[in-house]
Structure 1
Amino acid sequence: MDDQLMSRAAASKKRTRIQAENEEKILDAALEVFSTFGFRGATVDQIAAQAGMSKPNLLYYFRRKQDIYTAVLTRTLDMWLTPFGEMDPDGDPEGEITAYVRAKLAQSRDHPQESRLFLGEVMQGAPLLSAVLATDLRDIVEEKAAVIARWIADGRLAPVDPVHLVFMIWAMTQHYADFDTQIRAVLGKGVSDPAVFATANDTVLGVLMTGILPRRPVP
């Protein structure tokens, strides 16, 4: 991640465990405040109060409200990209993609606030994240798209556009975080319900795999 997006504590060569814990505490508090008031309505004082620390102490870690906001968003992006980066080029395509989809659905279930805050930033044209999206995000998508393209060339997946396949996985999985209100209106419960989550997993994977796995000849 770009140095200018790092906190002072993270940039320090002698970052301690307490510094790391305090930084996470600040980001957790900021997530709550930004989710409630938005970037414009949120204040550093509110975040400090939510984190249970003084404003001067918070400002040791992050100089500006914008820096905190950007750190919350980049932490979310890092969380999303971790299972994507773990997709093994030498693994079985069906197993690797299945594991990634399950991980993304679990993230939508467990971290809906992060997803919706990130969506809001992107819907505004990503003014604070455009540089990260055009570097870190693009690089890993290109890397994994090349893996998928190799699986396709080897006849292990149906011929589909690898990048648009990634977009499709994101759309199907993040829907369960970003549109939870809509899901609850239709089903009466959200993806946090075990039965809804299990059905979402089975349906998303069933439709996806039917479309991308090579058709086996009927005996």
Structure 2
Amino acid sequence: MASIRERNRATILTVASEVFADKGFAATKIIDIANKAGLPKPNVYYYFKSKEILYRSVLESVVEPLLASSEPFEIYQDPETALREYIKAKITISQNYPSASKVFASEIMHGAPHLPEDITERLMEQTRASVARIEQWIADGQMQAVDPKHLLFTIWASTQTYADFDWQITAVTGKEKLDQEDYDTAAELITRLVLAGTLPG
């Protein structure tokens, strides 16, 4: 069972993700987060010494799953399984970390002014490794000669949209909130499109 300290920290992090996603870094005040979390302002500073540290923690909460999502490229030898599992992992991030995903996307769209250099380098290294893996599959004849970077961009855009544009998606589907079947359907459709366009005929 989680301790009170762990529960409070998790609550603050979740609420901070929502507030940062709604207001952005500059407009967010610690008191906003404290009030929404139902905690005194000093309690927030007890767990996170500054707004910058809290913001970084929100980014890290989604960066770690993002880094882990590329593991299928390392684990599986065939591109079909690797791409299928990679897309599934990316959809799961949008499902499980919707607010933190929005914060990350907003940070990137604004030129990553607050993204720490060490996180940036870890993400870039992950991308370089994924690109190299795809290039190897292409060289081995296991994939069509597609541009690896643009393939990744396409996957990122199509999976992260389920977090970043959730209002639009729920409005179109007529649902207050997407359910597991929706995310499974999205992952399967994106996978079919990617595989059809990348695997040898």
Query: 1:103 deviation in Å?
Result: 1.5
Contact 1:180–1:190 (8 Å) recurs in 2:
no
Aligned partner of 1:94 among 74, 80, 83: 80
Question: Equivalent residue for 1:58?
Answer: 44
Contact 1:85 1:140 in 2 (8 A): no
- Are residues 1:112 and 2:98 paired? yes
- Tell me which structure has the larger Cα radius of gyration: 1
Which of the residues 34, 45, 48 maps onto 2:34?
48
Deviations 1:111-137 (A, max 9, x none): 222222222222222110162464111
- The TM-score with structure 1 as length reference comes to 0.78
Is the CA contact (8 Å cut-off) linking 2:76 and 2:82 kept in structure 1? no
2:187 is aligned with 1:201: yes
- Asked whether the 8 Å contact 1:119–1:178 carries over to 2, the reply is yes
For 2:11, the equivalent position in structure 1 comes to 25
| 2:199 is aligned with 1:210 | no
Q: Percent identity?
A: 39
Aligned to 1:156: 142
Equivalent of residue 68 in structure 1, options 32, 38, 54: 54
Shift of 1:173: 0.7
Superposition CA RMSD, Å: 2.5
Q: Give the AA of the match of 1:101.
A: I
- Which residue identity lines up with residue 158 of structure 1 in the other structure? Q
> Is contact 1:121–1:127 with CA below 8 Å preserved after alignment?
yes
Could you tell me which runs of 5 or more consecutive residues in structure 2 were left unpaired when the two chains were aligned.
none
Which of 73, 97, 114 in structure 2 is aligned with 1:128? Answer: 114
Distance 1:190-1:55 versus aligned 2 partners, 3 A rule: closer
Larger relative CO (CA 8 A, sep 6+): 1 or 2?
A: 2
Cα contact 1:25–1:51 (8 A) shared by 2: yes
For residue 45 of structure 1, report the CA deviation from its aligned partner: 2.7
CA distance in 2, matches of 1:76, 1:175: 15
Distance in 2 between the 1:18 and 1:194 partners? 30
Displacement of 1:183 in angstroms is 2.1
Q: In the alignment, what sits opposite 1:168? A: 154
> Is the deviation greater in 150-159 or in 76-85?
76-85
Q: What is the alpha-carbon distance in structure 1 between the residues aligned to residue 152 and residue 124 of structure 2?
A: 12
Residues 1:145 and 1:66: Cα distance change in structure 2 (over 3 Å): same
Tell me the amino acid that sits aligned with residue 122 of structure 1. I
- Cα distance in 2 for residues equivalent to 1:195 and 1:58: 36
Structure 2 distance, partners of 1:198, 1:136, is 29
| Counterpart code for 1:167 | F
Cα distance in 1, alignment partners of residues 37 and 147 from structure 2: 44
Letter in 2 for 1:138: M
- CA deviations on 1:34-92 (whole Å, 9 max, x unpaired) are 23443233222333344454444432433221221122012212222212134325522
Aligned residue pairs: how many? Answer: 199
Structure 1: give runs of 5+ residues left out of the alignment.
1-16
The structural deviation recorded for 1:181 is 2.1
